[in-house]
Amino acid sequence: MANVMTIFFSMKGQTIGPFMKIRNQEIGNTAMAAGYVQNAVGGEIAELVPDKQYPKDHMELIREAQDEYDNGVRVPLKEYPDIKDADTVFLGYPNWWGHLPMPVVSFLEHYDWTGVRIIPFCSNEGSGLSATVEDIRKYAAHAQVEKGLSITGSRTQKSEKKIMKWAENQLNA
């Protein structure tokens, strides 16, 4: 039986919803999806919390995220989850400019992923997984990285059954 962890990075507060309208939410889309995944597969769940405060204004946030990516800024985490016993990690994150958010890159670079299976899931408003799976393969070079799931962020709450079924199927694949 697999030793499973669900690890995620998520932003609450302002986000882009349907028709590119800004809306506020108490729980980030990726956090919500991570809860569904963990409910489906069990194991521990851990949130990646950056050791910095991102802007609350969504448009400022995405400009800062673009700058971090363009300049290769590594955003450290307040704490790195203990993954030593995990052989399967469901990794959730938002798609920022077609790539992983830099706090997720910092997380991936922190560990040797030899013998670990990473199953990505990504929230977005239409850009899908973009290059995020390739990014994971780059920063977690020795991991077995699966194809992953793209979740439309504004539909996350209505996608619980779909996400749970996907997670169960991935775990048993």
Give the pLDDT confidence score for residue 23 in this predicted structure. 63
Give the pLDDT confidence score for residue 73 in this predicted structure. 95
So where are the chain's domains?
4-166
Over the chain (173 residues), the average pLDDT of each successive run of 10 is 91 65 76 97 97 88 92 96 96 93 97 97 92 97 96 90 97 90
Give the pLDDT confidence score for residue 67 in this predicted structure. 95
Give the pLDDT confidence score for residue 126 in this predicted structure. 84
DSSP result, 51-91: SSPPPSSHHHHHHHHHHHHHHT----BS-----TT-SEEEE
Give the pLDDT confidence score for residue 11 in this predicted structure. 85
| CATH, range 4-166 | 3.40.50.360
d(CA 164, CA 166): 5
